[in-house]
Chain A
Amino acid sequence: MQTVFIVAILLLGFLITFQIAKASEYVAVLRGEEKAKKQTNKVNAFLLLAFLILGLIGVYYCNETLKGKILGEAASNHGKHIDTMLQITLVLTGIVFVITQVALFWFAYKYQQSDDRKAYYYPHNNKLEVIWTVIPAIALTVLVGFGIFYWFKITGDAPKDAMEVEIIGSQFKWEFRYPGHDGPGGKGVFGKKYFKNITGDNPLGQIWDDPANRDDVYVTGEPMHLVVNKPVRLVINSKDVIHDVGLVHFRMKMDAVPGTPTTMWFTPTKTSKQMAQELGKANFVYEISCDQMCGKGHTGMRGEVIVETQEQFDAWMATKQPLYDKLFVNKPAVTDSTHTPDSTAKSVTAVLLKK
């Protein structure tokens, strides 16, 4: 009913507009076309000026209304760089925006057709053209310079002491793996995996012949835990289609590509609690959004991150058990053969381990 009503109103409005438009054309012909044209020219020139003024006010109003809704301060070291870069660009482009838009609409208003005016024959001026080639070029060099400087900082190698977490996307959930402490200096090493080993019990397809897998902790269905002020390097994977690990508060993002692992690193600088206090939102959570369309559940592919102190993290980790222990050590009743990879996968496993 409502839709019929809306459609009826639209149709009516349209009919009226059309009749007026038709009538105005007749009137124009009757009154003398030249005169009518001058009249509409004036009206439209005035509207252009009004559009400029109201538009600039609108831009200001829009900013006042919405600036409070765009997440506040970044919660990672890289995020701060990105915000700085954003501000530099905003200022520079803002100036250009105002100057060019004002010039555009002002000229259109000021030089509207009039009998007393003659258009000025001005086909070119090399000096002017050189000036406005050079100035944008300089401005852009500045932006490129800053941009690449920060870009290499952000995409450069992670610090040696960074913790590592693997994050794996699949339709439509996130899974995590922590590497344990089996590497040199107590740093964890991820065990190898092979996608054909994936079963219900072995969701990542870990290769159990690889000893590095023995202390890897598999986590799903709960938030990813990170330590505040400790760099973290994410190893990103996908099992099916391309996903994307989007971390808005850290301003970080990286695709998860099946068959091609990607990485990114950053240092979270605020715990979840700190953020909740700063933003005045008791229920604040860091969210992981999937930013690359991945199918019908894309909108719901949500994960969470908890940033906490080292002690809290250790306490949480202590409650976790490596998947290997769960499957083989603490479940002696089950025979090994059900869980070892099948023969084809085993041969591939051997090849992979030799590498």
Chain B
Amino acid sequence: MSDTIHIHPGQVGHEVAHDDHHHGHHEQSFVTKYIFSQDHKTIGKQFLVTGIIWAIVGGLFSVLFRLQLGFPGQTFPILETVFGKWAEGGVIKAEFYYALITMHGTVLVFFVLTAGLSGTFANLLIPLQVGARDMASPFLNMLSYWFFFLASIVMISSLFLHTGPAAGGWTVYPPLSALGQASIGSRLGMDFWIVSMALFVVSALLGGLNYIATILNMRTKGMSMTRLPLTIWALFFTAVLGVLSFPVLFSGLILLLFDRNLGTSFYLSDIVVNGEILNNEGGSAILFQHLFWFLGHPEVYIILLPAMGMVSEILSVNSRKPIFGYMAMLGSLFAIAILAFLVWAHHMFVTGLNPFLGSIFVLLTLLIAVPSAIKVFNWLTTLWRGNIRLTPATLFAIGFVSLFISGGLTGIFLGNSTIDIHLHDTMFVVAHFHIVMGVASMFGMFAGIYHWFPKMFGRYLNSTLGYIHFWVTIVGAYLIFWPMHYEGLAGMPRRYLDKSSWASFSQFGDLDKMITIVSIIVFAVQLMFVFNFFYSIFKGRKVTSTNPWGANTLEWTTPINPGHGNWEGEIPEVHRWAYDYGKDGREFIPQTEPVGANESKH
């Protein structure tokens, strides 16, 4: 095991320091450098670009079905242009509406906010911030991306099936998802969905195990666990959650595959569908929900924790102040990770769950608000008496905190089973999780992209476009989702296509129009961000110093465009935690600087 890596001008060493099986130096072809790359930074970028493409697809779906929701009576020729037979005459067919919401949910939850978010930043930041030349296993890391890519191909293909993609909601509850007779989307499209998700789970596991192994074993000299930046802690807990919960989803989906194709009855019992009496007896439809939500709830923290970690880091760097209560932040991350496994049945209060069991889940669910509150107060205190640089990344981080507060508080309504009886499966739920999990995590992701873009590409994103992006998005997000809570308070069920035939839910026509229009604008601005992203990769302003934000963490000790192996020469040694900002009158003290004799203690 050598600690150095040999870099020749114009050629980047391929092998990694900890790799005992040296392949020797060789010229990197385009394929090994950009496609089947084992460099964690390139893999991170691959996750990010794939995630962005998915986000455009998933976002576009929501805009298109929002057209139908906002203007129920009207026809939109563009819908027929895009969807063909599924929107004949410019009106989305009901069965295809359900396919669209299913794809929107699946794509954004798994492909964008899991793979695109933690895939990108775990890959980019873990080796750079713990001080390693690459992941524990660069090869498995590469496989992790390519399994994700395969999953993407299968999911995309399902869109072009004759019977359409899966249409049972992103939660794919059987029996609906198990019976082709019950829904056209439960035919071949559902098998594609299961296969795609199985591949996705493989990708998540390969990635997650690698992240954990790297964080535990490959920290540089002096980087004790309590000196790790909070981003790394957050990504660590994210990986642990994924490794422990994704296999449960996998098993649930395999049983579903059996029920669909092999005549088993894990989830099916007493069914007469379209006049056809099925033979299945003794299964439990609710069993699937337990298996699904055993992943499904940790999944929302898999999405949120990386955003929390990055926001902590970005707020601290740009307030020029240490993160307030590092140990409390760490403890609350830990508490959230543990509790994430103990609250899944709060998605099932009205399934006939034993009321006593329900009350236990109420207690555990509301308990999770305590560590969440600690985090919010600590972020606020980090800003307090800072000297805040309002970069686009900082603004998105502040936006994240605002959205996390708003969405977190509505979670207290839903986690309380008494109120959940009324609000369950209404638009209130849609508003809640879009704010707290969807938009907030997107904000965390944007903050991360604006902040680490210089490290990724050696150039800056255009910040004027960044400011426009932030302001339109935060105003739009609140305009879309805040009034939506009222639809839910009125009891309007989610996943309703046309409310006009209902006496109880038809009073929100104008509101639905407004939401649709705003969502189109917000989507357009995201496209502008995408343009900014790709334009800036090639034409953005060049970064001229290695540490443009004046940050303490190790990634800013690497060259502006680090090669494979990250550091030329020795890996730096760490002497302090990552948050010595504004200490002893100095603006920042990098982690690599030894503790001085006269330095004050904290």
Contact = CB atoms under 8 A, between A and B. Distances in A.
B409 A66 contact: no
B541 A140 contact: no
B322 A240 contact: no
Contacts of A117: 387
Categorize the interface residue count of chain B: 35 or more
Interface stretch (A54-62, A184-192, A212-220, A224-232): A54-62
Nearest to B585: A118
B291 interface: no
A45 B496 contact: no
B464 A24 contact: yes
Contacts of A155: 355, 358
B327 A143 contact: no
A198 B272 contact: yes
A327 interface: no
B405 A97 contact: yes
B373 A150 contact: no
B419 A17 contact: no
Interface in B264-319: 268-274, 277, 281-286, 319
A119 B269 contact: no
A346 to B, nearest CB: 15
B416 A85 contact: yes
A257 B351 contact: yes
B221 interface: no
A122 B425 contact: no
A258 B95 CA distance: 22
B579 interface: yes
B467 to A, nearest CB: 7
A22 B528 contact: no
B367 A140 contact: yes
A58 B322 contact: no
Nearest to B398: A108
A69 interface: yes
Interface stretch (A123-131, A312-320, A328-336): A123-131
A262 interface: yes
A198 B471 CA distance: 59
A136 B370 contact: yes
Given A113-B387, A287-B504, A260 B271 contact: no
A44 B395 contact: yes
A111 B319 contact: yes
A124 B503 contact: no
B380 interface: yes
A82 interface: yes
A343 interface: no
B309 to A, nearest CB: 18
Nearest to A45: B390
Contact of A3 (B78, B327, B486, B584): B78
B215 to A, nearest CB: 23
Chain A at the B interface: SS class: helix
Interface string B63-95: 000000000000011100000000000000111
B351 A262 contact: yes
Contact of A132 (B377, B406, B482, B489): B377
A73 B422 CA distance: 13
Contacts of B425: 244, 246, 253, 291-292
Contacts of A294: 176
A22 B376 contact: no
Contact of B328 (A85, A92, A129, A287): A129
Given A25-B462, A70-B486, A259-B285, A284 B503 contact: yes
Interface in A128-169: 128-129, 132-133, 136-137, 140, 143-144, 146-148, 150-152, 154-156
A154 B421 contact: yes
A14 B524 contact: yes
Interface in B382-398: 383-390, 395, 398
B369 A140 contact: yes
Nearest to A263: B352
Contacts of B285: 242, 257-260
A248 B422 CA distance: 7
A240 B277 contact: no
B581 interface: yes
Contact of A123 (B322, B524, B531): B322
A257 B286 contact: yes
Contact of B350 (A41, A92, A137, A254): A254
Given A259-B271, A296-B183, A248 B370 contact: no
A311 B528 CA distance: 66
Nearest to B470: A44
Interface string A81-112: 11001100110110011001101110110011
A173 interface: no
A344 to B, nearest CB: 11
A136 B462 contact: no
Nearest to B378: A129
Contacts of A170: 272
A100 to B, nearest CB: 5
A118 B355 contact: no
A151 B362 contact: yes
A316 B493 CA distance: 31
A11 to B, nearest CB: 9
9 contacts: A55-B478, A66-B483, A100-B377, A119-B582, A121-B602, A129-B328, A143-B416, A260-B269, A296-B95
Given A151-B418, A253-B350, 15 more contacts: A104-B401, A111-B319, A120-B321, A143-B366, A148-B363, A150-B418, A198-B272, A239-B272, A241-B179, A242-B285, A259-B282, A259-B285, A289-B493, A295-B176, A302-B501
Interface of A: 3, 10, 14, 17-18, 20-22, 24-25, 37, 40-41, 44-45, 47-48, 51, 55, 58-59, 62, 66-67, 69-71, 78-79, 81-82, 85-86, 89-90, 92-93, 96-97, 100-101, 103-105, 107-108, 111-114, 117-125, 128-129, 132-133, 136-137, 140, 143-144, 146-148, 150-152, 154-156, 170-171, 195-196, 198, 205, 239-242, 244, 246, 248-249, 251-255, 257-260, 262-263, 281, 283-285, 287, 289-300, 302
